[in-house]
Amino acid sequence: MEKCLRPERFVAEANAPYSRKKWKYWKYTFTKYLAKLPNITDSDKLDILCNFVDESVFAHISESGSYENAMEILQQVYAKTPNETFARHLLHSCKQQVDEFVDEYLQRLKVLSRDCN
């Protein structure tokens, strides 16, 4: 069962435009994975976390003493509040592709509008 739930390695640049979305998905899958593992301690969780992150991500948590502290640090680095002005620019400049159906285009607009307030 755990093999099916096993998340991919988390690789993201802190300032990349879609790092927040990647982090949110990865955190969800990782916490679900940990919940299915039997009898793990906090230090085990930290060790497992270190095995599932890239070396650039590990640099942020290398000196954290606990799993909760490491997750807090990663949350601060990757789940920054979106830039509303930039989000509005992306929404305003979004154009329908030639081969894109109207429903697909509307779905893309809805996704882009989430950060526009």
65-91 pLDDT tens trace: 899 999 999 999 988 777 788 889 989
**Residues 70, 21: one domain?**
yes
Q: What is the pLDDT of residue 3?
A: 65
Residues 6+ apart with CB under 8 A from 16: 22
**Residues 33, 50: one domain?**
yes
Domain residues for the domain of 93 are: 84-113
Query: Are the C-beta atoms of 54 and 13 separated by less than 8 Å?
Result: no
**Residues 93, 36: one domain?**
no
**Residues 63, 15: one domain?**
yes
Which of 10, 19, 8, 7 minimizes the C-alpha distance to 77? Answer: 19
Provide mean pLDDT across the span 94-117: 91
**Residues 16, 72: one domain?**
yes
Would the pLDDT of 41 be above 50?
yes
**Residues 34, 91: one domain?**
no
Distance from the first to the final alpha carbon of the chain: 40
**Residues 102, 49: one domain?**
no
Q: What is the pLDDT of residue 2?
A: 55
**Residues 44, 64: one domain?**
yes
Count how many domains the chain has. 2
Would the pLDDT of 1 be above 60?
no
66-73 own/partner pairs: CB under 8 Å, 24+ apart: 66/42, 67/42, 67/43, 68/42, 70/46, 71/27
Query: Are the C-beta atoms of 20 and 82 separated by less than 8 Å?
Result: yes
Cα torsion 33, 37, 39, 45: sign: negative
**Residues 11, 62: one domain?**
yes
**Residues 55, 105: one domain?**
no
